[in-house]
Structure 1
Amino acid sequence: MNTEVRSGVSPRRRPPGVPMGRLRYVVMLGMVLLGLGLLVGRVVILHVVDRPFLQGQGDARTLRTDSLPAHRGMIADRHGEPLAISTPVVTLWANPQDVPDDPIQRVQLASALGMELETLNERLARYAEREFMYLRRQLTPEAAQRVLDLRVPGVYGQDEYKRYYPAGEVAAQLLGVTNVDDVGQEGLELAYQPYLAGTPGLRRVLKDRRGRLVRDLEVLREAKPGGELTLSIDQRLQYMAYRELKAAVAEQDADGGVVVMLDARTGEVLAMANQPSYNPNNRAGLDPQGLRNRVIVDPYEPGSVVKPLAMAAMLDAGDLSPSTVVDTSPGWMRIDRFTIRDIRNYGELDLAGILEKSSNIGMSKLVLRYDEPVVPQLYRRLGFGQAPGTGFPGEATGEVPAPVRWSSSQWAALSYGYGLSVTPLQLASAFTAIANQGRLLPPSLLRLDEPVTGEQVISPEVARQVLEMMDKVVEPDTGARRAEVPGYRVAGKTGTVRKTGAGGYQENAYRGFFVGIAPVSNPRIVAVVMIDHPRGDSYYGGAVAAPVFSRVAGSALRLLDVPPDQRHVPEDE
């Protein structure tokens, strides 16, 4: 017993080591192998099972599909002269989170942008939580490059196109405008937006996590430029018509005015001018009134300028001839509760005399002979009360009242131009029937490559008779004498209409009209001039609108190389 105690060996304890150590070793080895197995399995899953998903996620964060802007199609006049073109520009944008706070770089950036430093800092602070903001839209490539050459981190350029209008305010209402994204907003730019816009292209690019371009990889789809639009407008005539109209409106201190000129043989619109206007290349301080194309979208009560059309309706219906005489004495007449007056007592007048003197009494007595509404029926065949079909946004239909329970006074009023409304374009189009042997030609804003037959609305004989009557209206001793064009015979008709307001017809507010056809021997042009609320010495159409026609038609006939026909010779020559 003593020996065992001295040796320090206890009979109840196993020597440490071998069995327990081997167990721990096995456990630890198993855990390591399990961990390695899990790692290998995860790698296999990532590289085999999840590879397509992860590859797509990676590409989504580096590969991008960018749009390639399409070049907007040009709008040209009938001779190919540009009226609206798209020029390359650069839009500068920034990632505010990447733009450094370095005051020197910010001063340089603000100076290159033409911006106050305080303004730049305020904008960067406002968009600090975002990754995109515009710095400047649609700069010239040279101006944008000066900014990009500063190499300020977070500042980038994007290629775009901007619309430019070489004619400026001269054809603004007809062409319309595009917005900052080059999308049509008014006029023909809006009407033909899908055709002019083209189809943007697509390209694949590599970008970093900040969205910065690293490399162009491939073009997926080429940008398809928009189609080119060729108008019927002759830019030479457009400039001339606008110049004369603007001068007349200023001279008469008028609210505005219009000029529209059609080709008498085809119905194509050769010129269409509006006042007031605006510069589509610089719209700062734009007056919305200048946007309106009054030739197409604003209907007016036409007054006496439609008397030749009413005369044509009655001649075409029969029972009348140019030699028919009407007694207009004593210069006034009562119809229903209304009194109709002429300027003075003209006595007996034939049909040409009724048009020359613009006798309301004569027209009323003629139209009241008929039991059928021959005048409004012709108005409708001429396109009044219907859309002209030009495709221009907002084109007005005008109005011809329906023949339901008409009174005699309403019947008479239609014959001398009251009680209906037409646009200047509708009015000019209607007179193509007089100029074109009774065939009405629909107006066209696009150049026509094929001749148009038109619709026969009155007989050729009646059209010739009315044209000759209108020829006598523009004589040296008539109220329309100021419409004469040296070297050419002119057929025309004046009109003066009181403007309407909330309370009916206004006092001392008028519109002066003139419609003309030239030359009479072989009509080439039909034109309508309207001066709105002239405040000069006179407001009559023969005084304010006829001179504009004379200057516009004279220049147009010479530019179109139309040979002179028989000249009016005053009696004292």
Structure 2
Amino acid sequence: MSNQTSQPGSPAAVVFPRRYALLCALLSGFVLVGFGAVLHKAFSLQVLEHEFWLGKARLQSETTFRIPVYRGSVLDRNGRLLATSVHQFSVFVDPSKVPDKPGLARKLSPIIELPAASIEAQTKNRQGFTWLKRGISDQQRNLIERLQLEGVHLSPEYQRFYPFGSLAGQLLGFTNVDGKGLEGIEKLYDTVLDKEPIDCSQLRDGARRRISLHDQGSDDTDQAGGITLSLDAVLQAIAERELGAAVAAQGARAAEAVILDPRTMEVLALANWPPFDPNRYQAAASEDWRNRAITDLFEPGSTFKVFLYAAAIDQGTVRETDRFFCENGVYRLARNTIHDVHPHGWLTVPEMLMVSSNVGAAKLATKLGAGKFYQYIQAFGFGQKSGIGLTGEAQGLVRPWNEWRPIDLAVTGFGQSIGITALQLSSAVATIARGGVWQRPTILRRALRDSDQAEIRRAIQPARRVLKASTAALLTKWLIKATGEGGTGQPAVPAGYQVAGKTGTAQIVDPNTGTYSGKRYNAVFTGFVPAADPRLVITVVVHEPSKSIFGGTVAGPVFRNIAAEALPYLGVAPDRDDPNGKRSPTRWASLDPGAGPNNRQ
């Protein structure tokens, strides 16, 4: 055999030593492991730890806080805006991002009208979000934006706004700066009107300058729910205007009026004087926030005789032709003396009501008896809340009948020793206007808890018969006489309309002596109109008039003026010819919010 040698390029020439092959394998393994680690880390960062690192990035580039959103509106029965929410801006600061706190305070102080020392104090030793001022004007906003102050930012919010100013202020109530209801309807229906604040983030660039303000919430189209009241803003304005005029003319302390539609028992007006503007509620005395028509108790005086006579007729205790001797105006009962304003002798039952004899009422109450009288007092809704649902409503003061002495029974017959509210009195009088059927008054017509939810409907109110229909009809006839010629209620009658009503002049108990004051009175008138087909029940209470004191001359004209304007506004035609040929003027209240919050004629 001949010897053969390997030539270059042949297979044998590329055989490497084994150690080189092992080295290549190890190197490839390291590369694969490294590449796998990179892939694993990338997967971990992008997938497994994505939210963690995104949160870290947001902490460096965003400031997150919460801002209020649109609060639902409050409307009257005809769709007029009584309370709404409008855009505003507020200014806040992130103290940790303010390099020159004294300088910032000096620049902002004249713009937001706060002392520089107060602003500087807000920025010291604080981290994160700090309000400087809520609800700034557009001019203030523009000036702040021009300064581009580091760490200072503007936040869009909503401000509660009451277009008609003081109109129905005590009923509507108000909200705090964060939009939470504190009084009135705003508080009662806070869960319906309010929505949760939205999360809001402030984006910054690498130099920590503001980029934009965005939110994860909703815009104006996603609004909170709203409510519609039974209130009529025009009637409310008429009532408030007339109360204000009466308080001024009579030198009175305060007044209230209630207007009901007896057909539905809807409250059309719930007026108080003095008023207050919920746009500036801090400027008003806190006692003026009170809705006196439902919170303040007063002795009703002779208006309460209506319910005594109703009970006596309904029980058959007296007949229309029965007569009582009224003691010529002075009646001794045990150690007490009951007086009439004018002396009277023998009077029939309707005559006693027409001239408003206290002596006659005392004798009639005694004949009826405490137990039966108390039963009707409760049936008319006295001594208990009306059920309207408004916060702060008083239930009244009626002592159990078995605690009454003979004098207590007698004086309760003409409205002493009992405490009621104007709304309770209106509801009870409406029972007579409704033919003897009592029904709970209402203020809410409809509510939407959210824009995408179904309407919250007003529950049908329970009704109960208190009087026979014949009793209510007879009593109405007598109340018409009480406002006719010779009756104490004649000043309450508007031209062209027939009124069924009753006056009341009630002494006020002196808290220092515990006895009735000879100088302090409440003047009251309550009734319904037109008498034959009632459309309105109106109650007027004037507290402590200093000129005249009588219900007929003080509260009666307020009733008349309200009815004279309200009935034509509602399209109610006159139901009688006026002997003087007069007709009630059409002078409806101006309700143009653009003309100013209190521009009501």
Q: TM-score, normalised by structure 1?
A: 0.85
State the match for 1:368 in structure 2. 366
Which residue in 1 is equivalent to 2:563? 553
**Residue 281 of structure 1 pairs with residue 279 of structure 2:** yes
Any idea what the Cα deviations from partners look like across 1:239-258, whole Å, max 9, x if unmatched?
A: 11101100110111111111
Is 1:530 aligned to residue 530 of structure 2? no
- Give how far 1:201 is off: 3.7
Cα distance in 1 for residues equivalent to 2:580 and 2:200 = 74
Distance across 2 between alignment mates of 1:340 and 1:316: 26
- Aligned twin of 2:5: none
1:126-275 equivalence runs, <5 A: 127-131=123-127, 132-141=129-138, 143-202=140-199, 219=216, 224-275=222-273
Matched, 1:511 2:511: no
CA shift for structure 1 position 373: 1.9
In structure 2, distance between residues paired with 1:489 and 1:402: 37
What one-letter code is carried by the residue in structure 1 that aligns with 2:272?
A: N
Cα deviation digits, residues 138-187 of structure 1 (max 9, x gap): 12445323312221111101111111111211211010011111111111
Q: For 1:406 and 1:375, locate their aligned partners in 2 and report how far apart those are by CA, in whole Å.
A: 11
Distance 1:145 1:299, change over 3 A: same
Match of 2:312 among 301, 304, 314: 314
- Name the aligned partner's letter for residue 151 of structure 1: Q
1:113 to partner: Cα distance: 2.6
Question: Counterpart of 1:10?
Answer: none
Aligned partners of 2:299, 2:209: CA distance in 1, in Å?
61
Matches within 5 A, 1:426-465: 426-447=424-445, 454-465=463-474
Structure 1 residue 282, shift from structure 2 partner: 2.2
Q: Distance in 1 between matches of 2:517 and 2:209?
A: 65
SS of 2:494's partner is coil
Greater C-alpha Rg? 1
Cα distance in structure 1, aligned partners of 2:287 and 2:572: 36
- One-letter code of the match for 1:548? V
The equivalent of 1:424 in structure 2 is 422
- Of 469-478 and 172-181, the range deviating more from structure 2: 469-478
CA distance in 1, matches of 2:207, 2:282: 36
1:290 to 288, 295, 303: 288
In the TM superposition, residue 70 of structure 1 has moved relative to its aligned partner by 2.4
Partners of 1:103 and 1:190 in 2: CA distance: 40
Q: Structure 2 counterpart of 1:89, which letter? A: Q
- Which whole-Å CA distance do the structure 2 matches of 1:127 and 1:294 have between them? 44
Q: Is 55-64 or 454-463 further displaced after alignment?
A: 55-64
385-394 or 193-202, larger mean C-alpha shift: 193-202
Q: Is the 8 A contact 2:105 2:119 kept in 1?
A: no
* 1:354/1:363 contact within 8 Å kept: yes
1:472 corresponds, among 470, 481, 493, to 481
Structure 1 unpaired stretches of 5+? 1-36
Residues 94-133 of structure 1: pairs in structure 2 closer than 5 A: 94-101=93-100, 108-115=107-114, 119-125=115-121, 127-131=123-127, 132-133=129-130
Q: Which runs of 5+ in 2 are unaligned?
A: 1-32, 447-456, 582-601
Displacement of 1:493 after TM fit? Answer: 0.6
Q: Is the 8 A contact 1:515 1:527 kept in 2?
A: yes
Whether the 8 Å contact between 2:122 and 2:130 is mirrored in structure 1 is: no
Distance change (3 Å), C-alpha of 1:209 and 1:327: farther
- In structure 2, relative to structure 1, the CA distance for the partners of 1:205 and 1:306 (3 Å cut) is same
Shift of 1:111: 3.5
Gap change, CA 1:213 and 1:351, over 3 Å in 2: farther
Amino acid at match of 2:387: G
Q: Which moved more, 1:138-147 or 1:148-157?
A: 138-147
Quote how far apart the aligned CAs of 1:460 are. 0.7
1:329 CA displacement: 2.2
Instruction: Report the more deviating stretch, 155-164 or 495-504.
Output: 495-504
% identical aligned pairs: 33
How many Å apart are 1:365 and its aligned residue? 1.3
Q: What is the alpha-carbon distance in structure 2 between the residues aligned to residue 497 and residue 286 of structure 1?
A: 29
Q: Match of 1:184, as an amino acid?
A: G
Contact 2:254 2:273 (8 Å CA) reproduced: yes
Residue matched to 1:55:
53
**1:412, distance to aligned residue in structure 2 (A):** 1.3
Asked if 2 retains the 8 angstrom alpha-carbon contact of 1:173 and 1:292, the reply is: yes
CA distance in 2, matches of 1:146, 1:206: 21
Contact preservation (8 Å) 2:247, 2:254: yes
Query: Which shifted more, 317-326 or 375-384?
Result: 317-326
After superposition, give the CA deviation of every residue in 1:294-347 in whole Å (9 maximum; x if it has no partner). 001111111111111110011111132222211112322222321112123211
User: Which amino acid in the other structure matches residue 195 of structure 2?
Assistant: G
> Does residue 1:70 correspond to 2:69, yes or no?
yes
Instruction: Please say if residues 201 and 222 of structure 1, whose CA atoms lie closer than 8 Å, have aligned partners that are also in contact.
Output: no
Q: Equivalents in 2 of 1:509, 1:336: separation in Å?
A: 26
Name which of structure 1's ranges 124-133 and 380-389 shifts more when overlaid on structure 2. Answer: 124-133
| Equivalent of residue 504 in structure 2, options 495, 504, 511 | 495
CA deviation digits over 1:423-476, x for unaligned, max 9?
000000101111011111211112378886732111111001111101001123
2:79 aligned partner: 80
Query: Is the Cα contact below 8 Å between 2:112 and 2:136 reproduced in 1?
Result: no
Task: Give the match for residue 399 of structure 2.
Answer: 401
Deviation for aligned residue 1:52? 6.7
Contact preservation (8 Å) 2:68, 2:178:
no
Greater CA drift, 121-130 or 437-446: 121-130
Aligned in 2, Cα 1:525/1:494: closer, same or farther, shift over 3 Å?
same
Q: Which range moved further: 386-395 or 366-375?
A: 366-375
Q: Structure 1 residues 440-449 or 299-308, which shifts more?
A: 440-449
Counterpart check, 1:92 vs 2:101:
no
Give the conservation status (yes or no) of the 8 Å contact 1:493–1:515: yes
**Structure 2 Cα separation of the partners of residues 221 and 480 of structure 1:** 58
Post-superposition CA distance 1:341-386 (Å, at most 9, x none): 2123211111211111111111121222234622221111111111
Computed over aligned residues only, the root mean square deviation of the Cα atoms, in angstroms, reads 3.0
Do 1:276 and 1:289's aligned partners in 2 also have CA atoms closer than 8 Å? no
Change (3 A) 1:364 1:159: same
Q: 1:524 to 1:103 in 2, by over 3 A?
A: same
User: Cα–Cα, structure 1 residues 157 and 348, in superposed 2: closer, same or farther, change >3 Å?
Assistant: same
Using the TM superposition, give the Cα deviation of residue 210 of structure 1 relative to its aligned residue in structure 2, in angstroms.
11
Determine the C-alpha separation between the residues in 1 that align with 2:242 and 2:169: 16
CA contact (8 A) 1:148 1:155 kept: no
Partner AA of 1:282 in structure 2: R
Deviation at 1:203, TM superposition (A): 5.7
Single out whichever of 54-63 and 316-325 deviates more from structure 2: 54-63
Task: Return the alpha-carbon distance in structure 1 between the equivalents of residues 195 and 116 of structure 2.
Answer: 35
Deviation at 1:491, TM superposition (A): 1.1
**CA-to-partner distance for each residue in 1:15-72, whole Å, 9 max, x for gaps?**
xxxxxxxxxxxxxxxxxxxxxx9xx999989995994795376256246765453211
Say how many residue pairs are matched.
529
The alignment's TM-score, normalised by the length of structure 2, stands at: 0.81
Question: How far did residue 200 of structure 1 move?
Answer: 3.4
**SS where residue 70 of structure 1 aligns?**
coil
CA distance in 2, matches of 1:401, 1:70: 48
Q: CA deviation at 1:212?
A: 7.4
1:214–1:472 CA distance, 2 compared to 1 (3 A): same
State how far apart, in whole Å, the 2-side matches of 1:234 and 1:356 are: 33
Quick one: distance in 1 between partners of 2:444 and 2:206?
50
Equivalent residues of 2:91, 2:132 under 8 A apart = yes
**For the structure 1 residues 514 and 216, does the alpha-carbon distance in structure 2 shift closer, same or farther, using more than 3 Å as the test?**
closer
Matched residue, 1:541: 551
User: Partner amino acid for 2:97?
Assistant: D
